Amino acid sequence: MSMSDPAQQTQTDNVFRVVIMSGAPPRVLARLLTEICRHDSRRVTGVLYWVQKPLPLNKRVRNFVSQLHKPAYLRYVADRLVSTVAGQCRRLGHFLARVAHAGFPDTADFGVAELEEHCRQLGIPFQTTDQFHSEQSLAFVSAGQPDLGIVYGTPILKPKLFQIPRHGSVNLHQRKVPDYRGGGPIGLWELLDGAQEIGVTVHRVAAKLDSGAIIRAVEIPIQPFDTLVSLEAKAHVTGIDLLVATVDDFAMGTVTEVPQTGSGRMFRNPKPEDLPELKRQIRLLRGPQPAERTYPRWKLLVRCLLFGPFLVARNWYRRLTGTFPIVILYHHVITDRPHFMGMSTDRFLSQMQYLRRYYNIVDLKTAQRLLQSGRVSEPTIVLTFDDGYRDNVLNLRAAALDGDVPATLYICSEQLELGRPFAHDLQHGCRGFAPMTWDEVRKMEAWGFDFGAHTRTHFDCGSTDEEMLLQEIIECRREIEEQVGHDIQDFSFPLGLPPNISRPAFDIAARNYSTVASAYGGVNRCGQPGTHHLYRVPHLSSLLEVELQLQSALVLGQPVYWTGGEGSSKQPGRHRVGEPELVDV
């Protein structure tokens, strides 16, 4: 058990004090703390964090022996043994892959120790416990004289704990009540029921489980490509938003409580041996997700075999000489609805776990500094998103709860101002994909995402009409800066291919922004011509294609430095081996 010094908090008239009792994932809880502490008049007086104490060996042995007669339990034990062996093999594979990449980024998990350090930096007392109702725990919660308690991911608590705060306590329940009371993985029972949405509810903590009055509630649609993984991530993000709003409600005295009606249903957390069968039923009900590849699988595998030894040798040469290129990936929308430029949340989460393991993922400003320094000693990538889709507000934040996602989002200012759908979506029959709002832009910035300009109306900058180009390129920057309150230094061309970048357009963008990004392929090297133009490559849905893309083994060659179509003597080109060019829309 660990404890940081819970110094007594003095009563302050204008500060609303919150204590948190939780067993939520450490990174999720760290984000909640950051969001609450963003408001100067809100203070977290302590975090009492539940660390479950393992059962003694003799009890585990008795439990094991008592269940050996159950076929499902035997299958579970066999699966655990196979999983343990496979896990050791995966660890060896991960090490060998890191050697092949010549990159060794820090992949340490964000655990309880990191959460405690986060609390220390925020000035929040922190204590772990395996007994919420011990005298030590009760004293810790009482010490800060809290106005409100937040319960998030704990076992059932007793009134002597949750009634300590002046206004009592609220609980985050990531289901709809009273329809789905109780436990189990988030979204499990709803997917088995064929429901159309999951609920996220903040309700008052009462003696009876999940029965208190509802204070705030939101429904998250279950979309065609949603999984248990994506629904859990989205529920955590939505829960954080609701808890922050609930704290504001109590602080401002505007709380509305709605008593639950109806008998509802109670669900128990399934036993570990039963969970695989329940997940299998969900897969049968929902069907497989479509595989998304641009190239045939055999062609990708041939490239791996042919180029593999060369790529490993080149990676180590680049490490020793500090000559790794920086690869900038561009994407558009993380969505669990069908979209011709979309990627599902689950797939994006999986890719980010892979990329963090083998690549140094940096933001655009860090990439600039590395290129200007003349040395890049780690395989390095940058994430960018074009247009400014509203789906990214939830889904990118959901991905960020699994690990850092430093990304720049290029947005079209007039599209956001008017809430107008993008013309290219309507041309492809994709309806209902609205741009984010300015409030959502500011919310994304608070979560650590950066923004750049993408013209006002997704304008084709192949035009040579300088008056229109000035309005689209420069006014976009002014309008974004007016909304976010700081400079915008980065620009990307809509469509982004050579015919969509005229010489006047390039010159105007280069004069007014620190970076100007295209979308027709290539990597960025130290010492390459020019300081403004950044090459970007598409962020593909197939992980194997992404890996070959990052190793410059999917489409071979490097474009000639390009300063615009109008009057340019050098047309961008590359050497290929027969594949079709991947184009942006």
Cα–Cα distance measured from residue 184 to residue 198, given in angstroms and rounded to the nearest whole number: 13
For range 350-370, the mean pLDDT: 95
pLDDT at 72 over 90: no
In terms of Cβ atoms closer than 10 Å to its own Cβ (0-12, 13-18, 19+), residue 97 is middle
pLDDT band at 578 (very low <50, low <70, confident <90, very high): very low
423: pLDDT strictly greater than 50: yes
Pairing relationship of beta strands 169-173 and 148-152 according to DSSP bridges: parallel
The whole-angstrom separation of Cα 164 and Cα 158 is 11
**Residue bearing the bigger pLDDT, 533 or 318:** 318
Rounded average pLDDT over 21-28: 97
Amino acid at 54: P
User: Among 10-14, 407-411, 437-441, 510-514, where is mean pLDDT lowest?
Assistant: 10-14
Q: What distance lies between CA 179 and its chain's CA centroid?
A: 29
Phi then psi for residue 263, to 5 deg, are: -80, -35
CA angle (552 as vertex; 550, 557 as ends), nearest 5: 150
pLDDT tens string 94-148: 999 999 999 999 888 899 999 999 999 999 999 999 999 999 999 999 999 999 9
Question: In the structure encoding, which two tokens stand for residue 472, read together?
Answer: 């689209």
Question: pTM of the predicted model, to two decimals?
Answer: 0.91
Kind and range of the H or E run holding 219: strand 214-221
Burial of 546 (C-beta count, 10 Å sphere; 0-12/13-18/19+): buried
What tokens does 353 get?
A: 């776990």
Q: pLDDT band for 60, please (50, 70, 90 cuts).
A: confident
pLDDT attached to residue 584: 37
Q: What is the spatial distance between Cα 124 and Cα 140, in angstroms, rounded to a whole number? A: 12
- For residue 461, the SS3 value is strand
pLDDT tens-place string over residues 165-204: 999 999 999 999 999 999 999 999 999 999 999 999 999 9
Place of tokens 């040469």: 317
Contact between 311 and 551 under an 8 Å Cβ cutoff? The reply is: yes
Q: Convert 330-357 to b/e letters by CB count within 10 Å (16 or more is b).
A: bbbbbbbbebebbbbbbbbbebbeebbe
Output the pLDDT for position 572. Answer: 45
pLDDT tens, residue by residue, 258-277: 999 888 899 999 988 899 99
User: Across the chain, what does the average pLDDT equal?
Assistant: 90
> How many alpha carbons fall within 13 Å on the CB side of residue 408?
27
- Top-confidence residue, 328 or 529: 328
Residue 529 has a pLDDT of 65
Question: In sequence order, what are the beta bridge partners of 181?
Answer: 266
Q: Is the pLDDT of residue 8 over 50?
A: no
| Dihedral angle computed from the Cα positions of residues 3, 106, 321 and 101, in that order, rounded to the nearest 10 degrees | 170
- Would you state the structure tokens that stand for residue 105, as one six-digit string? 């980024």
The pLDDT-based confidence of 10 (bands split at 50, 70, 90) is very low
DSSP secondary structure code for residue 111 in this structure: -
73 versus 365: the higher-pLDDT residue is 365
DSSP states of 284-326: HHH-PPPP--SS-HHHHHHHHHHHHHHHHHHHHHHHHHTB--E
Helices (H), 447-535: 466-484, 503-512
Give the mean model confidence (pLDDT) for residues 227-244: 98
C-alpha to C-alpha distance for 392 and 334, rounded to whole angstroms: 6
- E strands, 422-522, where? 450-453, 490-492, 515-517
Residue 380 has pLDDT above 60, yes or no: yes
pLDDT at 580 over 50: no
Angle (deg, nearest 10), helices 71-101 and 275-286? 70
Mean pLDDT, residues 218-233 taken together: 97
Structure letter (DSSP) for residue 282: H
Decide if pLDDT at 160 tops 60.
yes
Burial of 455 (0-12, 13-18, 19+ CB in 10 A): buried
Q: Residue 562 has what pLDDT? A: 62
Give the three-state DSSP class for 95: helix
- The closest of 47, 49, 51 to 143, measured between CA atoms, is 47
pLDDT in tens, 534-565: 999 999 999 999 999 999 998 887 777 666 65
Give the pLDDT band (50/70/90) at residue 30.
Answer: very high
Largest distance between two CA atoms of the chain:
81
Which pLDDT score, from 0 to 100, does residue 346 have? 96
Dihedral sign, Cα of residue 452, residue 453, residue 458, residue 463:
negative
Of 386, 371, 563, nearest in space to 491 by CA: 386
pLDDT of residue 341: 94
pLDDT number for residue 575: 34
Instruction: Read off the pLDDT of residues 280-333 as tens digits, 9 standing for 90 and up.
Output: 999 999 987 777 778 888 889 999 999 999 999 999 999 999 999 999 999 999
Angle between helices 466-484 and 438-446 (to 10 degrees): 60
Rounded Cα gap, residues 363 and 128, in angstroms: 34
- DSSP label at residue 460: -
Residue 344 has pLDDT above 70, yes or no: yes
- Which residue carries 């229109």 as its tokens? 468
Task: Tell me if 507 sits within 8 A of 469, measured CB to CB.
Answer: no
The Cα 447–Cα 397 span in angstroms is: 7
Q: What percent of the chain has pLDDT over 90?
A: 77
